[in-house]
Amino acid sequence: MPIKVPDEKIIAIGKLLCNPNKPLKERFRALFTLRNLGGDVAISAISECFSDPSALLKHELAYCLGQMQDKHAIPKLVEVLKDTSQEPMVRHEAGEALGAIGDTSILELLQEYSNDPVIEVAETCQLAVERLRWLQLKGKSEEKLEKNETFLSVDPAPAAAENDVEKLKGILTNESLPLFDRYRAMFSLRNINSPESAKALAAGFKGASTLFRHEIGFVLGQMSCESVVEDLAKVVADKSENEMVRHEAAEALGAIATEGAMKVLEEHLKDEAVVVRESCIVALDMCDYENSKEFQYADGLVRVDEVTG
């Protein structure tokens, strides 16, 4: 159950989130505090920040709204998805968030944007459509099962029933299969959560789809497995790779938080790509958290209390 917090405190955390003069790492912590709190006031606070110049922050706003699984976020997410002035990674995340909420009332809209000229947006909406159709087939009673309790995330596709790493790797890397099936293999490998399954996932970085490769980076971050630090480091360092993929690889290194991972992040703090260097800043803050005795990463309430208390 969400923590009951006075509206004025939630609004204050929202002001911290939307303050461009605050360090990005503090704004990220405020965002995740709002996500954890939930409710209409938190959704409104997050929604007010989509005019920010940081594509990284805006994409994370959309992600958090989807993870909250609250229908009150749908209008803002639809607005962002439709807004072609927003960066592709932001629009993609809005499409994925709509799928995560799981409301079939937006199925037609997602079908429309499955043909978007921006391939990352189109593929995201195609996956969201498949997820909603899967939920319809499973029935509403199954919908609550869609939040993975180990990784505390609502995934864009359900994990496959298969649990053989080599078979799943074969599905993952088979470009002739539907993207939805390959995503299901991806999340099954993540759930196995072993060094072997992490290395199998890393093979997905050779895939043709930018969206697919970026999701590989994301799930490797969820696993926090040291066996793929070198694989992730290569992705971050590859200037020919899409920024969306490089940024997820950087954040995955932040979750792993080893000395080697931190070294890679420090090397890219001045990367030419804004979204990559911002990701390294946030990822290093996550490293600090992982290697500290801090009670929680989402510490927006504490920071607001320090200012107002």
Q: How far apart are the first and last CA of the chain?
A: 26
3-state secondary structure of 164: coil
CATH of 1-146, one of 1.25.10.10, 1.10.10.10, 3.40.630.30, 3.30.590.10: 1.25.10.10
What pLDDT, on the 0 to 100 scale, is given for residue 2? Answer: 47
What pLDDT, on the 0 to 100 scale, is given for residue 303? Answer: 56
Has this prediction a pTM greater than 0.85?
yes
What pLDDT, on the 0 to 100 scale, is given for residue 247? Answer: 98
Q: What single letter denotes the amino acid at residue 133?
A: R
Six token digits for residue 25 = 């790492």
CATH assignment, 159-309:
1.25.10.10
C-alpha closest to that of 127 among 141, 113, 137: 113
**Distance between CA 283 and CA 14 in Å, rounded?**
21
Q: pLDDT tens per residue, the chain (309 residues)?
A: 445 789 999 999 999 999 999 999 999 999 999 999 999 999 999 999 999 999 999 999 999 999 999 999 999 999 999 999 999 999 999 999 999 999 999 999 999 999 999 999 999 999 999 999 998 887 654 444 467 888 989 999 999 999 999 999 999 999 999 999 999 999 999 999 999 999 999 999 999 999 999 999 999 999 999 999 999 999 999 999 999 999 999 999 999 999 999 999 999 999 999 999 999 999 999 998 888 766 456 555 555 555 444
Confirm if 298 and 5 have CB atoms less than 8 A apart: no
Residue 53 C-beta-side C-alpha neighbours within 13 Å: 6
C-alpha closest to that of 217 among 208, 228, 285: 228
Q: How many CB atoms lie within 10 A of CB 242?
A: 18
For residue 154, the cross-strand partners are: 147
Alpha helices (H) along the chain? 7-17, 24-37, 40-47, 55-68, 74-82, 88-101, 107-113, 119-138, 165-172, 179-192, 195-202, 210-223, 229-237, 243-256, 259-267, 274-290, 300-308
Identical fold between 1-146 and 159-309? yes
Confirm if 92 and 114 have CB atoms less than 8 A apart: no
**Distance between CA 197 and CA 49 in Å, rounded?**
37
Distances (CA, A) of 295 to 5, 15, 153, 302: 18, 23, 20, 11
Q: How many CB atoms lie within 10 A of CB 305?
A: 12
Confirm if 203 and 170 have CB atoms less than 8 A apart: no
C-alpha closest to that of 298 among 102, 17, 99: 17
C-alpha closest to that of 11 among 33, 2, 24: 33
C-alpha closest to that of 153 among 81, 223, 238: 223
Listed by start position, the domains of the chain span 1-146, 159-309
DSSP 147: E
**Distance between CA 134 and CA 132 in Å, rounded?**
5
